[in-house]
Every structure is written in C-alpha cells, then in structure tokens.
Structure 1
Amino acid sequence: MLWLFSAVEELLPVLAFFVVQQSYSFEAGLVVMVLLVLALLAVSYGFGRAAPRFAVASTIALLIFSVPSIVTGNSTFFQISDTILDGLFAFLLLGSRALDFPVLKYLFGRVFAITDEAWRILSLRWGLLFVVLAVLNEFFRLGYSEEVWAYFKLFSTIFILLFGCYQFTLSARMRIPGESNRLGLRV
C-alpha cells in the first residue's frame, strides 16, 4: 500500500500543475504544484514515515527551480529543470555503474533487497531513460508552447511511473530471499 501513496506523491502534483496551468496560468499551476508537494511531504512525515532521501532531494530541487519561475513569471527556470536534473541523474547513474558504485543502492537500499547485479542493471536502465527524457524535454521546451510542454511533462511523469512499475519484474527476479518480499521490497 505504501507504493500506492508514493505513486500518488509523484503523479498528483504534476496532474494538479497540468490542470491549473491549462485553466489559469503556468505560474498558478506551479504554485499549486509546489504547495501540494510540500503538503504531501508533510503528510508523509506526519504519518511517521521517514521521508525518503530522494523525495527530500527532489523537493529541494523543485523549490530551487520553481521559485525563480514563480517570482519572475519566466517558465524557463522550471522547464529547464527537467533537462538539468534528468541529465544529472543520467550522469550519476551511468557514471556510478561504470565505477561499480551503485548510487541507486545508496538511495533505495532501505526499500529494496536485491542483488548487486540488479542494482547495476537498474542503474543502466534508469540512466538511459534519463538521457532520453533530458533530450525530449529540450525538444519540447525549445520547440513548442508552454501548454504543449505541460502535456509532455504530464505524459513523461506517467511514463516514469509505468517504467518504475516495470522494474519490479527485475527486482522480483533478482531479490535477496529472506530479506525481501516477492517483489524485492525489504520486509
């Protein structure tokens, strides 16, 4: 059930941004998104759930890129954040794989009990995905309107969630028995 809350935490703010942005303005959608992310993080913390490192880092990144867009009314700061962050994630994941240092294991080792080979495969898969997303983000950011980019943002978020769900097939196959459930999640 925890995975469902995590999926809602990822999708709901982007969906709210999309709806408000389509109905009002880019900045209004961004304000709603930021407030919703902060509220969901507080709810998660309020339920006694330790905030995952990645959630805290992504919230800080959201604030760093969204506040300038809100204050200046220039959507570029927020739009380019996906290119910068996806590129950074790709560099870290592919670089950590090349150096045989599983950064994903550091970030998600409390959640998954899977083999080191699984961490290497996941690093490659996610690294390549983030390269593609960074390139596509620039394609839509530079070539299309804010409204079209917002559609891309929504669909790419949904795709990331579906891609993440698909990765459970790997974690299930390469789980550490006795430390994980059938999906590779720590027990």
Structure 2
Amino acid sequence: MTDQTPPRRQLEGWPKLAVDFGPLLVMFATYARFDIFVATAAFMVATAAAMAFSWALTRRIPAMTWFSAILVGVFGGLTLWLKDETFIKVKPTIIYLIFSAVLFFGLYRGNNYLKSLFGSAFHGVSERGWQLLTWRWAIFFLVVAAMNEAIWRLFSTDIWMHFKVWGDTLLTFLFALAQMPMLMRHGLKLEDKAKPEKPGPEM
C-alpha cells in the first residue's frame, strides 16, 4: 500500500505576510505612540500571536519562526527586565551572524542548507547556482549585521527603528530580486507546469 500522507500545508499570500512582517509593524506602530520598551513588549506579544496564527492555519510552526521567536523572547525579555534597549537592538545582529555562520559552515562541510530549505521552490537550479546563491546570502547577512551594529551605535533609536522595519526589509527584498538573473543562468525554471500537448489528428 502506497503512502497517502498529504503534504504539509504552507502559509501563502497575506497570511504569510502577516506572520513574517506583522510583529515588526506592530512594534513600529507601538513605538510611534510610546517608547522602545512598550514597543518591545508589543513585539513579543505579536510574535506569539503570529505563531498561534500559523499553527491555527497549518497545524505547524516553521523552524525559522521558532528560532526567531526564541531570540525575540530572550532579547526582548532582557530589554524589559534590565531596562536596556541595547538587547533588542543587537538581536538582528545576532540573527544575521548566526544565519551567515550556518551557511558558511554548510559550504565548508559540503552541505547546502539553502537548497535543503528552498530547493522545491527553485526548480532546475544547478549545484553551481545553489553554491553561488549560498555564498551571496552568507555575505549579505554579514553586511546587514554590520549595518545594524553601525546604525544602532551611531544613530538615534528613531533612525534604528526605521532601518529595522523598512530599510532592512527593503534591502532583503531587493537583494533577493537581484539574484534572479544568476539563478536563471543556472537553470531556474519559472514555469514548472508543462504545457498541455496539442491533440494529434484523428486516424
């Protein structure tokens, strides 16, 4: 008997956007009316709500969401407990450094973790393409980690908040978009559905 286990449900469209970016928007909106500490508390609550929302729709919480939520809880908790906004500001740096280290470690070990995570979404990409993509993302994460450190250390909390919510997100989107030409040169198929065959002449 063949295994008829249905594939796992995945978040798509606006539910995915709500889970990925909703907590950041809540943090930004709260900071606009209160301060960084109230915004941090709101961020923690919104992150927990996003996880519950993901579970309600798919009956699972992705590993990346768990990882981010744990760091939000740890650094957000330290921020509120010690009344020191440094912890919530340094959280993105820690996340990006961990992402970069994991990707570099995978390349060193001969394992491509990006391909393991997103291979089903990028059909046809060659091994060379995945290797280049992994190198680029690993370096990108180092760059944005350095940017986050420079901005929170040299500028006001207002500027850091705008960078975290808007600048960081825009940079990541533009960088991902900029990888498409390279991926297409290395075999990316944008249309994975075969065109229906034209019926032949009746005999």
Task: Verify same fold: TM over 0.5.
Answer: yes
Q: What is the TM-score of this pair, normalised by structure 1?
A: 0.81
SS at match of 1:11: helix
Quick one: structure 1 residues 91 and 36, their matched pair in 2 at CA, closer, same or farther if it must change by over 3 Å? same
Whether the 8 Å CA contact 1:83–1:137 is kept in 2: the answer is yes
Task: Tell me whether 1:44 sits opposite 2:54 in the alignment.
Answer: yes
Instruction: Tell me the distance in 2 between the aligned counterparts of 1:108 and 1:117.
Output: 15
The farther-off stretch of 115-124 and 130-139 is 115-124
Q: For 1:148-187, what aligned pairs fall within 5 Å after superposition? A: 148-154=159-165, 155-167=167-179, 182=191
Structure 1 spans left out of the alignment, 5+ residues: none
Q: How far did 1:171 drift?
A: 5.7
Distance 1:3 1:101, change over 3 A: farther
**Of 3, 26, 39, which aligns to 1:29?**
39
1:103 aligned to 2:113?
yes
Match of 1:79 in 2: 89
Q: What is the root-mean-square deviation of aligned Cα atoms in Å?
A: 2.7
The sequence identity of aligned pairs, in percent, is: 23
Q: Which runs of 5+ in 2 are unaligned?
A: 1-10, 193-203
Q: Which one scores higher on RCO, CA 8 angstroms, separation ≥ 6?
A: 1
Task: Evaluate the alpha carbon distance shift between residue 167 and residue 3 of structure 1 in structure 2; reply closer, same or farther with a 3 A threshold.
Answer: farther
Match of 1:137 among 129, 142, 148: 148
> Which one-letter code corresponds to 1:80 in the other structure?
V
Could you tell me the TM-score, scaled by structure 2's length?
Answer: 0.75
Equivalent residues of 1:11, 1:158 under 8 A apart: no
Relative distance call for 1:175 and 1:53 in structure 2 (3 A) is: farther
- How many pairs align? 181
Distance in 2, Cα, partners of 1:169 & 1:46? 37
Contact 2:96/2:141 (<8 A) preserved: yes
Task: Say yes or no: does 1:67 pair with 2:77.
Answer: yes
